[in-house]
Amino acid sequence: MAPERPTAESLPREPMARLLAVMAWLRDRQHGCPWDVDQTFRTIAPYTIEEAYEVADAIERDDLGALKEELGDLLLQVVYHAQMAHETGAFGFADVATAIADKMVDRHPHVFGDARVATAEAQTVSWEARKAAERAAKPAGSEPAGALDGVARALPALLRAEKIQKRAARVGFDWKQTGPVIDKIEEELGELRAELAAGDVDQVRLSDELGDVLFAVANLARHCRIDPEAALRATNDKFERRFRHIERRLAEVGRKPADATLEEMEALWQEAKTRV
């Protein structure tokens, strides 16, 4: 006999059990949602990334109401992937929760054991050492374990650059001061200028040179102990505020940016810098 169609009242009341049941029914081949039934790990992955960014956005805006909602959306993504894995017999949500709890216990021996960690910095060193040991202990593939193993390719490029550089620095491949890093940025800019000055610009080479500049700038941010993603987000917001000022000032006289000259907009930009 086929299971009866669920109702809000028939679902479990305990929050986590209710969420798991909701997702199981959404994926049910007979009673579920056709869109949810059709999804795969690959098609859902972009939504997972998007929800993580929306969590970060709510935090940036200091909006706790939005944060509660966005955390729920992100939790749904975890439940979604776990449900799809459960359907294949690979693992379920309980396995995911158990694995992360066990990992946290193992990586915090100063909390759940007799080890002693004096500072947050010392804990970071200990944490990274344990992660490195875990990577080294995984079954060997065709190549020996490397310092850069495990840095996800799906990370935003700027964040991945920072993580790659940190990994390389741990084994000594790094400058000790910011001076050589700035010199490297100037070197890469010089190569970019040379490429732009070429008679017939090759877009592949140009992209390669621009990538080198961005990588070097990410390295400078790391040396300055500045999160490059956060710094760029702040600059994006600043640009948006100032450009909106230009739009408002032009609207006051019945105009739009497309109607103004670059010189007029630059003057309003300088004005915006003193106000927003």
Under-70 pLDDT residues of the chain: 1-3, 135-136, 138-144
CA distances from 272 to 235, 242, 261 (A): 14, 5, 17
pLDDT one-digit tens code per residue, 203-246: 999 999 999 999 999 999 999 999 998 899 899 999 999 999 99
**pLDDT of 5:** 79
Give dist(CA 71, CA 54) in Å, integer: 9
d(CA 86, CA 23): 11
Cα 255 from Cα 258, distance rounded (Å): 8
The pLDDT value recorded for residue 129 is 77
pLDDT at 24: 96
Instruction: Please report the pLDDT score of residue 138 as a whole number.
Output: 67
Q: What per-residue confidence (pLDDT) applies to 144?
A: 60
Q: What is the 3-state secondary structure (H, E, C) of the chain?
A: CCCCCCCCCCCCCCHHHHHHHHHHHHCCCCCCCHHHHHCCHHHHHHHHHHHHHHHHHHHHCCCHHHHHHHHHHHHHHHHHHHHHHHHHCCCCHHHHHHHHHHHHHHHCHHHHCCCCCCCHHHHHHHHHHHHHHHHHHCCCCCCCCCCCCCCCCCCCHHHHHHHHHHHHHHCCCCCCCHHHHHHHHHHHHHHHHHHHHCCCCCHHHHHHHHHHHHHHHHHHHHHCCCCHHHHHHHHHHHHHHHHHHHHHHHHCCCCCHHHCCHHHHHHHHHHHHCCC
Report domain extents, the chain. Answer: 15-107, 230-273
What distance in Å separates the CA atoms of residue 265 and residue 257, rounded to the nearest whole number?
Answer: 7
pLDDT at residue number 143: 58
Q: What is the pLDDT of residue 3?
A: 62
- pLDDT per residue as tens digits for the range 9-24: 889 999 999 999 999 9
Q: Count how many residues are written for the chain.
A: 276
**Superfamily in which the 15-107 domain is placed by CATH:** MazG-like (1.10.287.1080)
User: Distance between terminal CA atoms of the chain?
Assistant: 66
Query: What's this model's pTM, rounded to 2 decimal places?
Result: 0.66
Q: Output the six-digit token pair for 241.
A: 């505020």
